[in-house]
Chain A
């Protein structure tokens, strides 16, 4: 039922994926409409507040963690263990999957309920658990629709932003075995009832973690639906999956990070449910899991923390850069081929998966830097994109023809007389193709370049002769 993400990026690539998305009119209509709504709500929320100062504080808190990640992790682990949490550390995705499979097997679980987790997508957990014969149920409404329709999430906060309501109705009706009413209210109510049974039956609940507080060992989960709280309250075992960078030093940092996350993610003042977990159920408490696990997942992050790309680890997964990105708004999240779409995906995917698979994504940007301006923790996303473009150009994964062409060009223009000659020569070559001073349809290999724009003829008299 769960689709593998991995192959799409390597086998198909951004160019073809984005063309497919562009051919789907709903995406170009619905995505900008939905994301505009969130951006406007954010603007209204911060109208009477100093958003810049809050972002500065958020960035400083995140930088403090990244600069000394291991120390903060050691503190978090100690604080969690003191509260009775079993802490596991996973080096990569396969290791993390093995740890979770082990916990689920030991719990003798037949049903696992899950609350939306990007980390779970990143380590591709569901297929691994399903292969063990476990029934895995996503409980975030959007993720549930994704799961039952064999689709993939296309936005960090709004996983089915790419689906029209009629499609959602079709998918849910297929599960219900009857035609459900078309209204969003009725579909949500049906899913609530359907998923209630899974919540009550599941032996294990799996969630992500929005923040882990090193000072107290508190795991923070933010949702509007209440599913993370259900997932961490009803099943006998709770497994929390956390990227190692999602640590905050102190409890008081939440007063900065929560409004940044919620304000930029959905434009709300606060999400309906902020669930803070401090270990398993205690003796004097009426309910809650008997076992509490925390799986800290590295998967390339500790190396990133030491690299020139460390700023990307500030990310708190709010989705704001997706909402504002002119490329994402046209092509949607699926074009990026893996878990993370938009500017965050264009940076994170090549970093986590390498240029061979993801390097192309760094080109999927106009470098307009709207993402830098909206990012709640001031990640210089467009600078990171430029760095990644340079890395790819210097590495082995860029197309050979492209590299040779640019090398020749660079050589040629370093020689003054060749440079002087290139203008008139270029003009002469392109003249037969031009209409009204512009080339609108060039032959290969320039054909793709002119498919979306026109090329002006080089001037009759170049600047250096004026």
Chain B
């Protein structure tokens, strides 16, 4: 786009993307924590413990953090499986307490995370708690930065923008958190390693 787009979904000029992202996540009624790369597994365990999650699925897109998180879950005595190993078992994924995924990008202006099909299409919303690990370098400014590269949409059968927990205001316009998707979303923003 030639002109800068002036829309509520674009990052204000001069704004710090990471601070804006953290503020956006908070605005969306999700939790956000900033952690160092070596502390990711510990931070995930804190969140799972806080929500009392026992049955957990871990997505392959956690990448370098997958093994450490899996080991930490085992040590804590949680029932943790890789999401791709149980995806076909509907009863099993329907009974999960939490899913832990990575993401393919995040949007600073809106506090959204972007999930690909690699995480599992249903992985970001099947359980009451979704924990999403975002690397600082994945954070884009606004929606126009995400859509500027159509090639992004060639590599996955799903690209899903998720912003906070699911909600509905269908009954007398009363906002209720936790419709079909998660009732709670916790974002862990991993600071770039110096």
Contacts and interface: CB of A to CB of B under 8 A. Distances in A.
A200 B90 contact: yes
Interface string A270-285: 1111111111111011
Contacts of A46: 8
B106 to A, nearest CB: 13
Interface in A152-206: 158-161, 164-165, 168, 184-185, 187-189, 192, 195-196, 199-200
Interface residues of B, number: 63
A30 B172 contact: yes
A285 B153 contact: no
B127 to A, nearest CB: 11
A195 B94 CA distance: 12
Contact of A192 (B5, B173, B174, B180): B180
Interface in B127-144: 142-144
Interface in B10-40: 10, 27-28
Contact of B117 (A165, A224, A250, A285): A285
Contacts of B162: 272-273
A258 B84 contact: no
B179 A165 contact: no
B180 A278 contact: no
B171 A184 contact: yes
A229 B120 contact: no
Contacts of A140: 170
Nearest to A183: B174
A252 B1 contact: yes
Q: How large is the interface on A (under 10, 10 to 19, 20 to 34, 35 or more residues)?
A: 35 or more
| A-B complex: 9 closest residue pairs judged by Cβ atoms | A226-B181, A225-B179, A142-B170, A286-B84, A233-B121, A255-B144, A184-B174, A274-B161, A233-B122
A185 B27 CA distance: 20
Contact of A232 (B5, B10, B121, B161): B121
Interface string B159-179: 111111111111111101011
Given A160-B170, A251-B150, A270 B125 contact: no
B88 interface: yes
Contacts of B144: 252, 255
Nearest to B176: A188
A225 B117 CA distance: 19
A140 B7 CA distance: 28
B55 interface: no
A466 B125 CA distance: 76
B154 A273 contact: no
Contacts of B167: 224-225, 272
A273 B173 contact: no
Contacts, number: 222
B121 A254 contact: no
A285 B122 CA distance: 11
Contact of A225 (B126, B148, B154, B181): B181
B170 A270 contact: no
A339 B146 CA distance: 35
Nearest to A200: B90
Given A49-B6, A278-B156, A251 B168 contact: no
Contact of B6 (A54, A145, A188, A282): A54
Contacts of B5: 54, 57, 255-256
9 contacts: A165-B174, A226-B166, A252-B1, A252-B144, A253-B147, A277-B158, A282-B156, A285-B121, A288-B117
Contact of B172 (A159, A165, A255): A165
Which of B83, B87, B172, B179 has its CB near the most chain A CB atoms (within 10 A)?
Answer: B179
A63 interface: no
Which of B142, B163, B164 has its CB near the most chain A CB atoms (within 10 A)?
Answer: B163
Given A188-B171, A272-B162, 9 more contacts: A139-B180, A160-B171, A199-B180, A218-B159, A232-B121, A250-B150, A252-B144, A258-B9, A278-B153
A141 B181 contact: no
A47 B173 CA distance: 23
B182 to A, nearest CB: 8
A263 interface: yes
B186 to A, nearest CB: 15
Given A224-B179, A230-B122, A275-B160, A187 B154 contact: no
A34 B169 CA distance: 10
Nearest to A215: B150
Interface of A: 30, 33-34, 37, 45-46, 49-50, 53-54, 57, 83, 139-142, 145, 158-161, 164-165, 168, 184-185, 187-189, 192, 195-196, 199-200, 215-216, 218, 224-227, 229-230, 232-234, 250-256, 258-259, 263, 266, 269-282, 284-288
Given A139-B180, A224-B179, A229 B143 contact: no
B105 interface: no
A121 to B, nearest CB: 16
Contacts of B120: 285-287
A306 B150 CA distance: 31
Contact of B7 (A230, A255, A281, A282): A255
Nearest to B148: A252
Contacts of A33: 173
A255 B159 contact: no
A184 B176 contact: yes
A273 B153 CA distance: 17
Contacts of A259: 7-9, 143
Nearest to A195: B180
B9 A270 contact: yes
Given A158-B173, A259-B7, A286-B84, A273 B181 contact: yes
Nearest to B144: A255
Nearest to A232: B121
Interface in B90-106: 90-91, 94
A286 B172 CA distance: 38
Which of B6, B7, B109 has its CB near the most chain A CB atoms (within 10 A)?
Answer: B7
